[in-house]
Structure 1
Amino acid sequence: SHLRIHDPWVVADTDSQTYWLFSRNDPAVTGDKRLGIMAYVSRDLAHWEKPRIVFTLPDGTWANDGAWAPEVHQWKGRWYLLATFHNEAAVIQAKGRRPTYRRTTLLAVSDRLDDPFTLMRGGDPIAPADDMTLDGTLHVDATGKPWLVYAHEWMQVGAGTIEAMPLKDDLSAAGPPQLLFRADEADWVVGQKQPEGDIVHVTDGPELFSTAKGALFMLWSSYGKDGYVQALARSTSGTVTGPWEQLGPLVERDSGHGMLFRAFDGRLMMVVHRPFKRALAKFYEMRDTGDRVEVLREAVELDGEAYPTHGCPMGAQDAGC
């Protein structure tokens, strides 16, 4: 498949035996110009229906752009959509060298995965409103407590960070955010020179995953020597507050913003986008070793990649490629 998509998120819905792949609405694909979220639907990860609109930002909401990094999570019997929106006219206090504006993760809710999502709380941010943040993900810890984990935008802080904020059961803030790590703590991250003269470090796309042995990992992305990178970090305490150890790249070659999900046949899978511009969904078969998450191969039979980053091209006869 050649799925036009950025910041992919898969829900493997066991009740319907259906995969849902969420992304920002692309009018060239849906024919709908509204700002919102679209979803592809499949039963086998190889054949996908034309995407449908599952959420549009209501008129009168403070935001007017974004719809980045949609995620859909089941929590307390309902489905919650998290996505990043912004408005360049909604100026917030600058903490660095460049103007900053409101960018943050919003919440929407639906009782059913196949029904439209409704914006919650009038579009009020979950994270602190004066922080320029993005890519919020919902993490439920071993005690059943929800957390919002997100990236604090390099545009505001220079060295982008990943932060975690405890939530109440209604997914509103239960306390202040806590710093997990900075992008420049990872030795593979390459700083990006800016017109203002400084060098910044990007954090994107956190997603947390517990292994079969209970180890806690985080997928996250930044820029390395060859463009965008899908990387991995591990909590040395096994809890969201860390400390976090940087384990380096999982997939390079301008790939990133990935997430892990379990296919209906039991395989652990990862989806990323590549390249960063004009991105397509790329699928990987993964291995949970208990103390690590590893790439087994790129699933070229699903994504049609002629030059896979891992494993053999489609149709290759030689097992050694």
Structure 2
Amino acid sequence: MKKEVLLFAFVLFSVLLSAQQKVPNRFRTNIPLDSIHLSDPCILANKKTSTYYMTGTGGLLWKSKDLARWEGPYRVAETDPTSWMGPKPEIWAAELHEYEGKYYYFATFTNNTIKIDTVKGNVIPRRASHILVSDNPDGPYKPMESPTYLPENMPTLDGTFWVDRDDKPYMIYCHEWLQNWNGTMEKIELKPDLSGSVGKGKILFHASDSPWSREKMGDEIHPNRVTDGPWLFRTDTGRLGMIWTSWVFQDYTQGVVYSESGTLDGPWIQEKEPITPPNFGHGMLFRTLDGKWLMSVHSHKDVNGRYIRIPHLFEVDLSGDKLVVGEIYIPHK
């Protein structure tokens, strides 16, 4: 079992590292969405500039006027080389959020030169969800007051943003399964200007709560231990939900969970079945500039030993009490 776990951890790390390193840096224009290799795509639709801004793993930014054709990549994230991140941190799962007149860059930063723990033979580097800020949607995004939002000895990832019914801002993030051996989804309150965190994190649910994710451990089948890619939403009826991603054996897959209280405090009840076909995941929701709800995800497949991740869009319906995922949406110029 230990060999299987180490192999799974190595494959996951290789996928993320590959996605980090193979994002093309050469500036291009008029690029179709499905010609961009990008993990964890997040799209901000900005009415002030009539522009879509897409970011994700790799720390780069793409721009589009119509979702069909894109230009980029632009480098927009500026970190402090004297901080714990070091001079060249890996950047995973970046998101853009507009809040109170500013734009915020939520991302996972990793410094592989700092080791914070060793669990079951796995050496865990310094990795944490963090927030940068800008006055403009296309950056540059720079550090704020707090150098640390979450505990230094805790590997966290995929931080996202939500303002709850108490009108307070929160970061929702994953505590990585490689340390706790059963990944969690957690929340922590943020300062009003998002420049730091307040208090301690609180667990919302565990990976093992999922009825749809699966992994094989020896001869037994269990819920997968990975929590990944949270994104919060409300349906038109006011129901609070969260899409998140795990694995069904070798397939990266997305599910959904709903809060019975309508707040982050839950309790959170998992849907029994995933909401995307196999090998689509790490989703987020956005409204197009003309008001249509879409879900951005990436496909995930192995082509001759090379992991390929490409952004895709799905139509979604939030008019009822649940999120309903429709057909793949093909933007037209």
Band the TM-score falls in, shorter-chain normalisation: 0.7 to 0.9
Aligned residues of 2:45 and 2:51 also touching (Cα < 8 A): yes
Shift of 1:79: 0.8
Alignment size in residue pairs: 288
Alignment map for 1:1-321 (pairs within 5 Å): 1=32, 2=34, 3-25=36-58, 37-63=59-85, 64-94=88-118, 98-121=122-145, 124-171=147-194, 172-191=196-215, 201-225=225-249, 227-247=251-271, 248-275=273-300, 277-301=307-331
Q: Kindly tell me: are residues 115 and 93 of structure 1, through their superposed partners in 2, closer, same or farther at Cα, counting changes over 3 Å?
A: closer
Equivalent in the alignment of 2:12: none
Q: Kindly tell me: are residues 193 and 54 of structure 1, through their superposed partners in 2, closer, same or farther at Cα, counting changes over 3 Å?
A: farther
Q: Normalising by structure 1, what TM-score?
A: 0.84
Aligned residues of 2:233 and 2:240 also touching (Cα < 8 A): yes
Equivalent in the alignment of 1:312: none
Provide the C-alpha distance between the structure 1 equivalents of 2:329 and 2:93, rounded to a whole number of angstroms: 22
Equivalent in the alignment of 2:15: none
Q: Which runs of 5+ in 2 are unaligned?
A: 1-31, 302-306
More displaced stretch, 96-105 vs 221-230: 96-105
Provide the C-alpha distance between the structure 1 equivalents of 2:206 and 2:121, rounded to a whole number of angstroms: 18
Percent sequence identity is 35
Aligned residues of 1:90 and 1:101 also touching (Cα < 8 A): yes
User: Which amino acid counterpart does residue 44 of structure 2 have in structure 1?
Assistant: V
Aligned residues of 1:96 and 1:158 also touching (Cα < 8 A): no
User: Which amino acid counterpart does residue 61 of structure 1 have in structure 2?
Assistant: S
Q: Kindly tell me: are residues 52 and 161 of structure 1, through their superposed partners in 2, closer, same or farther at Cα, counting changes over 3 Å?
A: same
Provide the C-alpha distance between the structure 1 equivalents of 2:332 and 2:309, rounded to a whole number of angstroms: 15
CA RMSD after TM alignment: 2.2
User: Which amino acid counterpart does residue 60 of structure 1 have in structure 2?
Assistant: T
Q: Normalising by structure 2, what TM-score?
A: 0.81
User: Which amino acid counterpart does residue 211 of structure 1 have in structure 2?
Assistant: T
User: Which amino acid counterpart does residue 230 of structure 2 have in structure 1?
Assistant: P
Shift of 1:99: 2.7
Q: Kindly tell me: are residues 261 and 200 of structure 1, through their superposed partners in 2, closer, same or farther at Cα, counting changes over 3 Å?
A: closer
Q: Could you report, residue by residue, the CA deviation over 1:141-169 in whole angstroms, capped at 9, with x for unpaired residues?
A: 12320111001101101111101111221
Q: Which runs of 5+ in 1 are unaligned?
A: 26-36, 304-321
Aligned residues of 2:189 and 2:198 also touching (Cα < 8 A): yes
